[in-house]
Homo-oligomer: A and B are copies of this chain.
Amino acid sequence: MDRCERILAGDVRTASRLIRDLEDGFPEALSVISDLYPHTGHAHVVGITGSPGAGKSTLVDGLIESLRRQGMSIGVLAVDPTSPFTGGAILGDRIRMQRHTEDPEVFVRSLATRGALGGLSRVVGDGIHVLDSMGKDIVVVETVGCGQQEVDIMNHAHTIILVLVPGMGDSVQVIKAGVMEIADIFVINKADRDGADVLFNEVSMMLDMAFHAEQGWRPPVIKIGSVLEPITFMQGIEELVTGITKHRRYLAASNGLRERMRRKALYEIKDSLEERILEPIYDKLLENNLMEDMVSRVVDRKSDPHTLSEEIAKRYLNI
């Protein structure tokens, strides 16, 4: 069996290795994705994002528990920004989730970018295809952070969940620029904390102001209690699962699903193009020491970045 066949048969080890090859930017890995691609399209992709410390990992753990009871198979991609300072800390958070690793229907992988030019977003997109082709019903993508990168990553999801917690800063309004606009479901996590009701009302009011009936889907705001043990009684988690199911049905019934699939495809093509076009040019510039030379000319003010890049474009672009 080749790599593709083994993954389609559900081989976890081959899948893990392929994802690592994607992270490391091996071009051969992309051709495996091409082979897997016709077998994708089954999974519903749920993106979960929110500030560090918002309790996303515990939430994902609760989600897995609940979805498993409904008999669904699950894949999780936990996106880690690589950092010598924080690597350990974030990994520690994820230990909870690992208890599901003995369940063959749950596949959890941490993702980081280790030099892939197309960036983390492309690796996430391809990682989703791997889990999807393995037959997972739900693929959960969890990101730590709140910048443009997270927005890019969320573009790969069908249902986007934004997790907020009370007491994380001066105002909700400045917490999640960019993600607010694309979230399908809002979660107020640790809802037993002070300020949870204020936060709930703030978010609800913002949604009321921004929502127009023709948009069709008004994102629900769901409170989740931080009842950690026993996890099976995590308050509000069933409501969240229902919210996901409703959103999935809404997408299927409207042309929302096709629209999202098109958006997803557009991003993936662009991510891939960026890599296939720029990588060979960078290789050329590096192999001839041209890049070093250009950097020196820019530092010494003998040329500027735009003039140089125009020269490069003229040389290598055939348009």
Contact = CB atoms under 8 A, between A and B. Distances in A.
Nearest to A83: B177
A206 B85 CA distance: 8
Contacts of A294: 265, 269
Interface stretch (A9-17, A145-153, A246-254): A145-153
A161 to B, nearest CB: 17
Nearest to A37: B304
Number of this chain's copies in the assembly equals 2
A280 interface: yes
A316 to B, nearest CB: 5
Nearest to A207: B85
A295 interface: yes
B273 A312 contact: yes
A245 interface: no
Interface in A240-297: 258, 261-262, 265-266, 268-278, 280-282, 284, 291, 294-296
A281 B81 CA distance: 30
Interface stretch (A70-78, A98-106, A165-173, A231-239): A165-173
Interface residues of A, number: 84
A90 B174 contact: yes
A317 interface: yes
A33 to B, nearest CB: 6
A174 B87 CA distance: 9
Given A34-B307, A178-B83, A277-B317, A298 B147 contact: no
Nearest to A150: B147
B81 A177 contact: yes
Contacts of A301: 37-38, 40-41
A173 B85 contact: yes
A86 interface: yes
A175 interface: yes
The interface residues of chain A, by DSSP majority, are classed as helix
A274 B276 CA distance: 12
A42 to B, nearest CB: 11
A31 B304 CA distance: 10
B291 A269 contact: yes
B168 A168 contact: yes
B280 A317 contact: yes
Interface of A: 30-31, 33-34, 37-38, 40-41, 51-53, 81, 83-86, 89-90, 93, 119-120, 125, 144-150, 167-171, 173-175, 177-178, 180-181, 206, 210, 258, 261-262, 265-266, 268-278, 280-282, 284, 291, 294-296, 298-299, 301, 304-310, 312-313, 315-319
Q: Which 4 A-B pairs have the closest CB atoms?
A: A147-B147, A37-B304, A53-B170, A52-B174
18 contacts: A41-B301, A52-B169, A53-B170, A53-B174, A86-B174, A90-B177, A144-B177, A145-B146, A147-B149, A147-B150, A269-B309, A272-B306, A273-B312, A276-B309, A277-B277, A277-B317, A278-B278, A280-B313
